[in-house]
Structure 1
């Protein structure tokens, strides 16, 4: 019999992969920046900025390591999942389905030798679910993502 926490780990991993795939379909709603540093250093800077801002990093997923585990190759790619209940809770109170896209996810990847960092524009999230009544949270989210990703690319 497998320990109970194994089921939670497998379920959480599957959920995160589903969430990542959901956002990838909205490429035209992405905000993408370039970073002069490697994927790993950019992710480290993002995590440090998130912590300094008082938010919580829930997961850091190394997609390239996952590919390597099955003897496949993938350019460096890391997904950072983080959030702050003060921002996300009002959004999910207004529309519970937004919980599929929260907490926030930022993808950092290597593209032909250039490190990129990207995320779904919060305006697209608000539009996707026709959310009303959480405008302040979306404004705060948009400002936080801009600030945090700028810190990661410095």
Structure 2
């Protein structure tokens, strides 16, 4: 009987650990957050390369830490990369022009206590935020692309 309780406890603990791990990669505010073993700059470089290789366009790369430095303030390394593909974004913008506030896609890469993080808004959250009806295929493709691109950048 004691072995049964130990196994049940172990299974419960494993399930709790799995749930905690899953939740840490998907923040409650709709962001999907991953860790990278590379620096912020290297991770941003890898993201830009993956985006360009995929045929999308990088519209901007914003170095927030450099901006803070310009006013003699300190900020941990933080870079925003904005990119998109009109084949994916246009159907969304046709269905809900206000989604242009969140498009092109933005991926934030930052240093969090020595650990590089890479995060982006879950396309499902974007769809819900702007009450987009239709463009389901575009959102599915966007979700897959963001997942693959950020995976490539975080490795």
TM value normalised by structure 2: 0.82
Aligned residues: 129
> Could you say which residue in structure 2 is the equivalent of 1:74?
75
CA RMSD of aligned residues (A): 1.0
* 1:127 aligned onto 2:128: yes
- The corresponding residue for 1:13 is none
Q: Which runs of 4+ in 1 moved over 4 A?
A: none
Q: Which runs of 5+ in 1 are unaligned?
A: 1-25
Aligned to 2:94: 93
Aligned to 2:104: 103
Which structure has the larger Rg?
2
> Quick one: distance in 2 between partners of 1:28 and 1:95?
21
Change in 2 beyond 3 A, CA 1:27/1:108: farther
| Cα distance in 1 between the residues matched to 2:29 and 2:60 | 25
Structure 2: tracts of 5 or more residues without a match? 1-26
The structural deviation recorded for 1:48 is 0.3
CA distance in 1, matches of 2:128, 2:29: 13
| Cα displacement string for residues 84-111 of structure 1 (whole angstroms, at most 9, x for unaligned residues) | 0000000000000000100000000000
